[in-house]
Chain A
Amino acid sequence: MLVMVLVVGCAPKPAAAPLEEKPGIEAPATGEAPVDAVAEDISQVGNADEGLDSSELDDVDSILADIENI
């Protein structure tokens, strides 16, 4: 039992994988207001583009066509 505890407790921990900036993933903020503000604007415009996409109403098109033909 004691041997087990010692083996597990003293086993060297695997080294943490280095942080890498992956392509396409947004880099963290810089702490410089004018730069970070633009990054924030970029994110907001991206969200608005998704949020206002009329494709969210595609099923309305199909049900209206169904009801036209009842």
Chain B
Amino acid sequence: MKKIAAILALAIFFISLIPISIADENDAQKERLDAKKEKLKEAEDLRKDKVRAIKVSKDELLKERNFAELSKERLEKLSNLDRTRLEEFSNLNSAELKSRLEKIKIVKVDAKLEFRKRIVAEQRIALAEERFNDAEERLHEAKEKLEKRRKLLLEAKSSGDEGAIIEHAKQGLLRAADAIISHLEKVKSKAQESEDLSEEEANEIVADIDAKIAEINDAKAAIEAATTKEDIREQAKKINAAWKRIKVKAEQHARNLINGGIRGILKRSEALERKLDRILAEMEERGIEVAGIEEKVAEFSDKVAGARENLKQSNEKFKEAKSTGVDEDRKSLLEEAKTLAREAHNALKEAHNILKGIVREIKAVYKEADFEEEEELVEVVEEDEQEEDQQVEVEVEGLLTEEQQSTLDSLVSSLQEAKTSAEIEIEAEVEDGQVKVKKEVEGTLTDEQQSLVDELAVSLETAESKVKTKIETEFDADDEEEELEIEND
């Protein structure tokens, strides 16, 4: 009984401690809440403090002394430029400024496209994505089987089992072919769903990839028919040479896709800066001010400008890579193009993280800010971008010797100097050890150009595997007149 009484007394004692403990905790909570309130008040004061004069510095930049003498048309061009370019232009002298502005065109953009080159139906995109995933799965499977065959082949070689060597080498080749086809299918699916390629560009890529897949399938049929070690070795050589050529082409298609995508993001980012300009101007009209916002917009603009420069350089390297058939040069140029494109992509990523912060700050003080309001979409195009798109297109598939490359370069230089519009295709096919060279020329060539075409075609008669060179040049008849007009302006 005494024990029970003691336990009860203890229990009552402990239970009585609970409210004290809760009360202590309540006090602590209250203190924390007070501290939080204090911090919130400080933050609110800080925010209010931040609402100071917004400087729509784009307007200030446009009021630069340098720009005062410009015609209405040139001022209109300037008003569409981003802060970074405006800043750069404000430091130019009058002649340089006029010359740079002459090279700039403000092109109206279809609002539905929003800087995309086409619209692909959602269903088609979903289908292409499904194909991409299937191809990825098949590639994974083929690579696993390939690895197993490699091990079995090594075992067969060490045991000297000729039958097993033939079987595992054959199966290994077939699985390698499957892996190549799956990789090509992946590139093809991405081209089919890309809205940053025109219909024509996408169709060209798809047709080329289909031709390459057919080539590998033909090689697969020949591998299936192989019965001796010699047959297998010969087929391995063929498929290896084809894969080396196809791999470069697949990398080029992928680069086209990726750089096209980055270009689209870049253009949409430039448009977002113009959207910000409109919202900042509205805020100024309403007397809503955010301290430091201008610096952040300038930082965003700088990142986008960095991406623009990186992408431009990447496209230049890519163009050079396409126009060379010298393996080492091509590899290093493609690598440089890839690195520069990744830098452009990273700069855009950073720009958008800054932009997200800007949007949040604006929305905190100007809830009516309408980022979705449709406005006239324009694209700022600089002349060298147009030149890049138009005048000279050179593509080499397969390998060229240094000497052949030099002949090709001389031919291209001659076409450029003489402003000869032409389409030239020279192709060397190797079948059963025989080299067949085809050449097709559209346009009127000079004697020198014709002789260079012949020289290149003759030199390709010694090609060890397929080589295709394609040159397209397009010059407007009045190009020279236009240049003169600009000089006289």
Q: Which residue of B lies closest to A2 (CB)?
A: B14
Q: Which of A6, A64, A66 contacts B243 (CB 8 A)?
A: A64
Q: A54-B254, A57-B183 are in contact. Are A10 and B21 (CB under 8 A)?
A: yes
Counting chain B residues whose Cβ lies within 8 A of the other chain, the interface size class is 35 or more
**B2 at the A interface (CB under 8 A):** no
A35-59, CB < 8 A from B: 35, 37-39, 41-42, 44-46, 48-49, 51-54, 56-57, 59
Q: What chain B residues lie within 8 Å of A14 (beta carbons)?
A: none
Q: A30-B359, A32-B371 are in contact. Are A41 and B264 (CB under 8 A)?
A: yes
Q: What chain B residues lie within 8 Å of A69 (beta carbons)?
A: 233
Q: Which residue of A lies closest to B191 (CB)?
A: A52
**A65 at the B interface (CB under 8 A):** yes
Q: Which of B232, B240, B254 contacts A70 (CB 8 A)?
A: B232
- B265 to A49, Cβ gap below 8 A? no
Q: A12-B25, A51-B186, A70-B153 are in contact. Are A57 and B179 (CB under 8 A)?
A: yes
**A16 at the B interface (CB under 8 A):** no
- A52 to B21, Cβ gap below 8 A? no
Specify the main secondary structure of chain A where it touches its partner: helix
**A17 at the B interface (CB under 8 A):** no
Q: Which of B139, B147, B229, B356 has the most CB of A within 10 A?
A: B356
- B349 to A26, Cβ gap below 8 A? yes
**A19 at the B interface (CB under 8 A):** no
A47 to B99 Cα, complex, angstroms: 40
Q: A35-B272, A48-B257, A48-B258 are in contact. Are A42 and B172 (CB under 8 A)?
A: no
**B198 at the A interface (CB under 8 A):** no
Q: What chain A residues lie within 8 Å of B4 (beta carbons)?
A: none
A32 to B132 Cα, complex, angstroms: 30
- A64 to B236, Cβ gap below 8 A? yes
Q: Shortest CB–CB separation between residue B190 and chain A, in angstroms?
A: 6
Contact string against B for A residues 1-22, beta-carbon threshold 8 Å, 1 for contact and 0 otherwise: 0110010001010000000010
A49 to B28 Cα, complex, angstroms: 53
Q: What chain B residues lie within 8 Å of A30 (beta carbons)?
A: 356, 359-360, 363
Q: What chain B residues lie within 8 Å of A41 (beta carbons)?
A: 261, 264-265, 268
Q: A67-B236, A68-B237, A70-B169 are in contact. Are A6 and B21 (CB under 8 A)?
A: yes
A30 to B352 Cα, complex, angstroms: 11
Q: A35-B356, A42-B265 are in contact. Are A67 and B169 (CB under 8 A)?
A: yes
Q: What chain B residues lie within 8 Å of A45 (beta carbons)?
A: 258, 261-262, 265, 345
Q: Which of B150, B237, B348, B363 contacts A42 (CB 8 A)?
A: B348
Counting chain A residues whose Cβ lies within 8 A of the other chain, the interface size class is 35 or more
**B355 at the A interface (CB under 8 A):** yes
A28 to B258 Cα, complex, angstroms: 24
A5 to B14 Cα, complex, angstroms: 11
A57 to B186 Cα, complex, angstroms: 13
Q: Which residue of B lies closest to A67 (CB)?
A: B236
- A33 to B372, Cβ gap below 8 A? yes
**B180 at the A interface (CB under 8 A):** yes
- B169 to A27, Cβ gap below 8 A? no
Q: Which of A21, A27, A29 has the most CB of B within 10 A?
A: A27
- B247 to A57, Cβ gap below 8 A? yes
Q: Which residue of B lies closest to A15 (CB)?
A: B32
Q: Shortest CB–CB separation between residue B216 and chain A, in angstroms?
A: 11
Q: Which residue of B lies closest to A41 (CB)?
A: B265
B247-277, CB < 8 A from A: 247, 250-251, 254, 257-258, 261-262, 264-265, 268-269, 272, 275
Q: Which residue of B lies closest to A70 (CB)?
A: B169
Q: What chain B residues lie within 8 Å of A67 (beta carbons)?
A: 153, 169, 172-173, 176, 232-233, 236
Contact string against A for B residues 298-329, beta-carbon threshold 8 Å, 1 for contact and 0 otherwise: 00000000000000000000000000000000
- B372 to A39, Cβ gap below 8 A? no
- A38 to B352, Cβ gap below 8 A? yes
**B157 at the A interface (CB under 8 A):** yes
Q: Which of B150, B239, B251, B272 contacts A66 (CB 8 A)?
A: B150
Q: Shortest CB–CB separation between residue A68 and chain B, in angstroms?
A: 4
**B17 at the A interface (CB under 8 A):** yes
Q: Shortest CB–CB separation between residue A16 and chain B, in angstroms?
A: 12
- B190 to A51, Cβ gap below 8 A? yes
For the complex of A and B, 3 pairs with smallest distance between CB atoms: A52-B254, A45-B261, A32-B371
Give me 16 other A-B pairs in contact (C-beta within 8 A), A34-B371, A67-B173, A70-B165 excluded.
Answer: A6-B14, A10-B22, A27-B356, A32-B359, A35-B272, A38-B269, A44-B261, A45-B262, A49-B345, A52-B254, A54-B183, A56-B139, A57-B247, A66-B150, A67-B176, A67-B233
- Enumerate 28 A-B pairs (CB-CB under 8 Å) in ascending A order: A27-B353, A27-B357, A30-B363, A32-B363, A34-B372, A35-B355, A38-B269, A38-B272, A42-B265, A44-B261, A48-B258, A52-B254, A54-B250, A56-B139, A56-B183, A57-B183, A57-B247, A60-B243, A63-B176, A64-B239, A66-B153, A67-B233, A67-B236, A68-B233, A68-B237, A70-B157, A70-B165, A70-B169
